[in-house]
Amino acid sequence: DIQMTQSPSSLSASLGDRVTITCRSSQSINNYLNWYQQKPGEAPKLLIFAASSLQSGVPSRFSGSGSRLSGGRSGTDFSLIISSLRPEDFATYYCQQTYSAPHTFGQGTKLEI
Amino acid sequence: EVQLVESGGGSAQPGGSQRLSCAASGFTFNTYTMTWVRQTPGKGLEWLSYITNTGSIIYYADSVKGRFTISRDNAKNSLFLQMNNLRVEDTAIYFCAGSLHYHYGLDVWGQGTTVTVSS
């Protein structure tokens, strides 16, 4: 099974800050990496799919990126970037690989004020 | 409105069974790969199982393989999870979720149903 490791596990930030959450896969996943936001008592919400594609309706302050190895092969390091934090962004964020089953999630990053 | 609504949660004893249902509406259910995900109280998300749109391909996490069975009825726009030989550690909120292409994330989610396994 592919292991997904997120860092940090928690993060304190202020309104307007730019924050980066990282996710590392235990093997190459061909950029099949998704990011979700979950608020207490709610279901997760898809933000980013395929490492860098913004889901419809998601604000443009959210973006995703993946690394590339030499020769153009996709790497194993991914980032979720929030360019300027708003109050509604304080939540827990999860990465998930959908390259091969089981489609494992990272352990989550709790973003706090 | 695109919607998934889970039902069937509740209390069960260790070794018992529970059947979860997920009713879909507002989208073309028979084009979606469907997935079950669970979340233990205060913990992260655990992927459990998926079934492709025709039901021809099914995968399970090792933690539930041999005990849980996923199925779907496209005529009734419904997804199911039959859970047998339940363990205390199966206590969680169970979400159904869907994706038009399983590589591109779960873009439709239900609100979740809670299963509590205790003696």
pLDDT by position in tens, chain A (length 113):
999 999 999 999 999 999 999 999 999 999 999 999 999 999 999 999 999 999 999 999 999 998 766 665 668 999 999 999 999 999 999 999 999 999 999 999 999 98
Is the CB of B109 less than 8 angstroms away from the CB of A103?
A: no
pLDDT at B102: 85
Nearest residue on chain B to A58, judged by CA atoms? B107
Q: Which residues from chain A sit within 8 angstroms of residue B45, using beta carbons?
A: 36, 38, 44, 94, 96, 105, 108
Strand partners, B118: none
DSSP secondary structure letters along B20-49 = EEEEEESS-GGG-EEEEEEE-TTS-EEEEE
Q: Which residues from chain B sit within 8 angstroms of residue A94, using beta carbons?
A: 44-45
Q: Which residues from chain B sit within 8 angstroms of residue A103, using beta carbons?
A: 35, 47, 50, 102
Mutation target for B interface from A46, A74, A78, A109: give the one with most B CBs within 10 A: A46
DSSP A105: B
Q: Are A37 and A48 in contact (CB under 8 A)?
A: no
What whole-number distance in Å separates Cα of residue A38 and Cα of residue A77?
22
pLDDT at A72: 59
What whole-number distance in Å separates Cα of residue A92 and Cα of residue B74?
33
Which amino acid appears at position A95 of this protein?
Answer: C
- The token pair at A93 is 């964020």
Rg of chain A (C-alpha set): 13
Angle subtended at Cα B25 by Cα B22 and Cα B28, rounded to the nearest 5 degrees: 105
Identify residues of B whose CB sits under 8 angstroms from chain A CBs. 35, 37, 44-47, 50, 59-62, 95, 97, 99, 102-107, 109-112
Q: Are B85 and B101 in contact (CB under 8 A)?
A: no
pLDDT at B41: 79
Q: Which residues from chain A sit within 8 angstroms of residue B62, using beta carbons?
A: 1, 102
Q: Half-sphere exposure (CA, 13 Å, Cβ side) for B76? A: 9
